[in-house]
Amino acid sequence: METLCWSNCKSYRESEYVIVGLDDESHSHAIRKGTSSAPDRIRKISKERDTYIENNLESLAYTNSGKPQSKIFDLGNISRQNIPFVYERIFSAGKIPITIGGDHSLTTEIIKELGKKRGPISLVYFDAHPDFLSSTRNFYGSVIYDSLPYINPKSSVMIGIRSPELEEIVNIKKYGISVFSPEDIQFYGFKQIINDILSKLGRNIYISFDMDCIDPSFAPGVSVPVPMGLNPITASILLKNITQCGIVGMDIMEVCPAFDIQDNTSHLASRMISELLSAVNNKVKNSDSIKIKN
């Protein structure tokens, strides 16, 4: 099996971060099919584009923060049915899962296991769509509603939202989840917004990153694209600042390789994971504090 290039550890036992692929899209209603091929595609592209070969030696294309200090193990792909068993073990062992989907409904299954173990979760939900429908359940459009028993809505945030349905606007107001749209970030300024986000978050921060939060000009390979999205640099700085508050897990979902352009979206997914891993043990409060370390 091809592993993600950031996997640097030979055994599950000694790992701190566990990469898990969920190659399933059975609860998507999207017209565009193909998110189930994303985990393997992202692994393959990470080996091609974030890895350089010189004199038969592999060299990784690190972020400016340098080599991740953590032990990262790629577990491979597992089925939707095995999520409870595998994630119960991961959370019990105090490890942090980094999941690659797959359709976004898989996040609900992970949050269930996490919530059972740790109590209410502060969910950071990067997405173009609120995924907060309640009239239809148990699919990629009802992730937030289905997760309500396991999250604290008041300490949860949505980032990148720009195409809510009427029913979702009602639910957002009813449950009091804070929403930060791409226009909010542009209008109020990045520093204001990051302070607002961090002040909302409570214990047990879990980041769910739907790749469609990013503008389709940067991330065309997603199952439900929406124009006027986040710039990847903005998303990366947000991701790193939130990660430094301490996270219990992260996922990156909805990459759809069949609709990608030259695998740019898969490559961006690999970079986002490396940026997150680089932030775990390095102090990054804002972009200008990132320095290349010798």
List residues binding Mn ion (CB under 5 A). 104, 127, 131, 210
φ and ψ at 195, to 5 degrees?
Answer: -65, -40
> Contact at 8 Å (CB) between 103 and 140?
yes
Nearer to Mn ion, 62 or 259 (CB): 259
Burial class (CB in 10 A: 0-12, 13-18, 19+), 52: exposed
Nearer to Mn ion, 91 or 140 (CB): 140
Nearest approach, Cβ of 51 to Mn ion (angstroms)?
A: 29
Could you tell me which residues come within 8 angstroms of residue 67 by beta carbon, excluding any fewer than 6 positions away? 60
Nearest approach, Cβ of 127 to Mn ion (angstroms)?
A: 4
Nearer to Mn ion, 72 or 114 (CB): 114
Annotate 7-75 with DSSP letters as a single string.
Answer: ---S-STT-SEEEEEE---TT---SS--GGGHHHHHHHHHHHHSEEEETTEEEE--BTTBS--S-EEEE
Nearer to Mn ion, 128 or 280 (CB): 128
CA dihedral sign, ordered 69, 75, 81, 84: negative
Nearest approach, Cβ of 253 to Mn ion (angstroms)?
A: 6
Nearer to Mn ion, 68 or 225 (CB): 225
Nearest approach, Cβ of 154 to Mn ion (angstroms)?
A: 21
Nearest approach, Cβ of 37 to Mn ion (angstroms)?
A: 18
